[in-house]
Structure 1
Amino acid sequence: MKNHILGTLYGLAIGDAMGMPSELWSRNKVKSYFGKIDTFLDGPQSNEVAKHFTKGQYTDDTTQALIFLDALIANDFQPDQQLIAKKLIEWADRIRAFDNEILGPNSKAALFAVKNGQDPTTITAQAETNGAAMRIAPIGCLFNSNQSNALIDYVWQVSQVTHASDVAIAGAAMIAGAVSSAMEQKSWDEIMTDTITIYDQALSYGSETFSPSLKARLELGLTYAHEFSDDEETFAKHIYDVIGAGVLTSESVPAALSIAYYTKTVERCAIFCANLGGDTDTIGAMATAICGAKQGVDQINKNYIRIINENNQVDFNHYAQFLLNYRERVGG
């Protein structure tokens, strides 16, 4: 299991770092500027979001996932929203995330409210962006796929510090659930079936919105995956044009799940997402984490792992061991 936990963590970081340079650029602009991204690159100075990062560095998607784990480890994996918020704010202050374009809009607003002693619930209840889903993949490592109720409840507890809408919680639960199923070496069709089931269960959590159905969009994305199985460019265009590649959970989560299903490996998935256009780092982080969970770290490109290790101050083995210990403790 530790092999697959490490696969999840490295997959998250690889998809995030590969997608960083093209983050929030249109598909046409990505093609015009880069041609094709097929390796780790510096963030262009002309990209207001990516210009703070260099080759192989992951962004706030992976950083926030690790901050969540730090908060959970410090409290024996009992979710404490105040502790999570405190650690997020400390990090945001340290890197001036409130001043620079680093935090997502809902996370920034919610954390700013907490920092100023205000109640963030009116913000979190309406949060439909993908901040909860982008950082949730490691939580999927904590649970067996037959523990979906416990997984959803845990996702709810750790996410509502910044996101407490039905769509944000359901989207995050889908990503965590996909990781959980992928770790058990289920087939890709079984992983998607489990993920859709989790969506139906998780939608009762959080404040009701009028967001599009993640389930319907995922089912459409999977249809495209079959229809264009031999035409990656056409598949990518349909994901970008129809499912959507923006920062809303209703776009990025079904896009990421469809892409993971289509690409299947960390290397192909990371490259695909980096060239998609839109929220490339976040879609890459979510999709590639799922691929990494299924492959395991021993099947991931060793050069990719080396680049992540050399360009980020992180010890994934440290986090993987804590995740494994909890999983074994709760019967995973």
Structure 2
Amino acid sequence: MSVVMPVLNEERHLRTAVQHVLAQDYPGEIEVVIALGPSTDRTDEIAHALAAQDSRVRTVPNPSGKTPSALNRAIAAARYGVIVRVDGHGMLPPDYVRVAVELLAETGADNVGGIMHAEGTTPFEKAVACAMSSPLGVGNARFHTGGEEGPVDTVYLGVFRRETLERLGGYDESFVRAQDWELNWRIRQAGGLVWFSPRLKVTYRPRPNLKALAKQYFNYGRWRRVVARLHKGSINFRYLAPPTALLLIVAGTVAGVAGFPLGFVIPGGYLAGVLVGSLWIGRRLEPAALVRLPLVIPTMHFSWAIGFLTSPARLVPGREGKRPGEQT
């Protein structure tokens, strides 16, 4: 079983993430292939030290620094028939790989995954983790909020059959973001099965500040729009809700300023909903985290919406006729 790990500037969490992989209770052979982007911190030094300490850890170069390229390079270098994707800031529980391999066998799925369990250490990160685990913050995707085991559109990270990845050409390197969603779409379109199980849970470390969070969600929205352009029928209400809400809020505000006071009902209603919702979903948070929640949630909503609405068609030019992984 091969764990592939794309990393870029992950000095804070890389060592711990790799240790969690090597501590798996999986009974078979295991390896970690780390794809090294052009980091500006101590990531490369830590990765090479880990490889020197344990023969199960190897590194491959990823000069572009792009995640899909890193994944394809690591998969090409991997030795085994099951591919486990893990990020450099993702912490696997001890039974993750064993349960995932069992699920592949039991369900016949091409990809299995579970919950993106956001967990913060600072008050800001705890507020983000709370928002990322709630329908108020991210909608009803099971990999965020949990739910019953079964077929889904997409999962967090993923544990794949290698032959599926090879048959479909791997990750599409045109997608700087949303490459997981795009790949899972192709798996399903090819008749494959993507399976969610709440038994699989990966601890995720949220962005540490508002600027980083806004950039993250802006890129999520921008690249989700690219998937929608390339794969007709891949969009649904959950993805349209943030841009629709933003347009209504702007329209209501403009109407109110223009002399139609009822227009202010829309932004006022949104603000009230965020405040009340924050008090409810954050009721178990410490006060320092709770007061940040009403700022975190709109940042996630509006950054995603702006990214989606302003996503330029040129992001993935000339994709027609190209296989995933080919350069444009």
Higher RCO (CA < 8 A, seq sep 6+):
1
TM > 0.5: no
Relative to the length of structure 2, the TM-score reads: 0.27
Which structure has greater strand proportion?
A: 2
Question: Which has the larger Rg?
Answer: 2
Relative to the length of structure 1, the TM-score reads: 0.27
